[in-house]
Amino acid sequence: DTAVSQTPKYLVTQMGNDKSIKCEQNLGHDTMYWYKQDSKKFLKIMFSYNNKELIINETVPNRFSPKSPDKAHLNLHINSLELGDSAVYFCASSFRETQYFGPGTRLLVL
Amino acid sequence: GEDVEQSLFLSVREGDSSVINCTYTDSSSTYLYWYKQEPGAGLQLLTYIFSNMDMKQDQRLTVLLNKKDKHLSLRIADTQTGDSAIYFCAESIGPEGGADGLTFGKGTHLIIQP
């Protein structure tokens, strides 16, 4: 019973393409997040979202957009993919002080 | 601003204790966390501590927080080969239940020598 799940696990695509990564949590949490982990393992928050507010890290290009069809899902859409977008993207959800992460989506842009 | 610093590598012998250190700059941190990431895997929440506590123990793990010096440490007793991973320190500065994310350190690679 996976708490936070992401699909796909691996994504290989060409520069310029548009792609989406899906995230679902079955924990009943109100807040979800997207983080990016680069090749040096550095983790940075991209977005946080609950049903009241979206907080965007100002360093994230506007080619990235989160979409939340309901409280259990927060998908990440990426337009016009660039080489530098290659990374592992982690979804997370939280309730109060505890935050749980998904297994990650490994994106490779060629 | 927010900044969380960790040493990049720590090497210990199997059976010894490992102590991973972290410093942070934001005095308004509410919670501080330790996450573990094994190769090719996601982030596993190991433990966390509220900012008004100075110690928390959970089996082989001991977290010490020195709020005055903004220093957090994770001690792993009797280190085993399965403890080999990257350990991330992270802080939360928002209110409990808020939508603020975590600020992570760059991670400490724990290497276990036989």
Which pLDDT score is estimated for A72?
Answer: 92
**Which of residues A52 and A28 earns the better pLDDT score?**
A28
pLDDT of res. B51: 87
Among left, alpha and beta (phi > 0; psi -120 to 50; other), residue A52 is alpha
Neighbours of B51 (CB within 10 A): 17
What is the identity of the amino acid at B77?
A: A
Instruction: Say if the Cβ atoms of B101 and A98 lie within 8 Å.
Output: no
**Residue A90 and residue B43: Cβ atoms within 8 Å?**
yes
* Residue A77, token pair as written in the block: 């859409």
First-to-last alpha carbon distance for chain B, in angstroms, is 40
Q: Mean pLDDT across the stretch B10-22?
A: 97
Q: In which region does residue B28 sit, left (phi positive, over 0), alpha (psi from -120 to 50) or beta (all else)? A: alpha
* pLDDT score of A25: 96
Provide mean pLDDT across the span A49-78: 87
Q: In chain B, whose CA is at the least distance from the CA of A4?
A: B42
pLDDT band at B98 (very low <50, low <70, confident <90, very high): low
Q: Give residue B66's pLDDT.
A: 94
Are the C-beta atoms of A47 and A40 separated by less than 8 Å?
no
Summarize pLDDT for A81-105 with one digit per residue, the tens: 999 999 999 999 998 888 999 999 9
User: What is the spatial distance between Cα B107 and Cα B114, in angstroms, rounded to a whole number?
Assistant: 22
Look up tokens 């040096």; give the residue: A40
More confident position, A55 or B111: B111
Q: Hey, is A92 helix, strand or coil?
A: strand
Percentage of residues in chain A having pLDDT higher than 70 = 96
The pLDDT of residue A2: 66
Contact B99 A31 (CB under 8 A): yes
pLDDT of residue B36 exceeding 70, the answer is yes
Q: Residue A11's pLDDT is what? A: 97
Chain A from 64 to 103: CB within 8 A of any B CB: 90, 92, 95-103
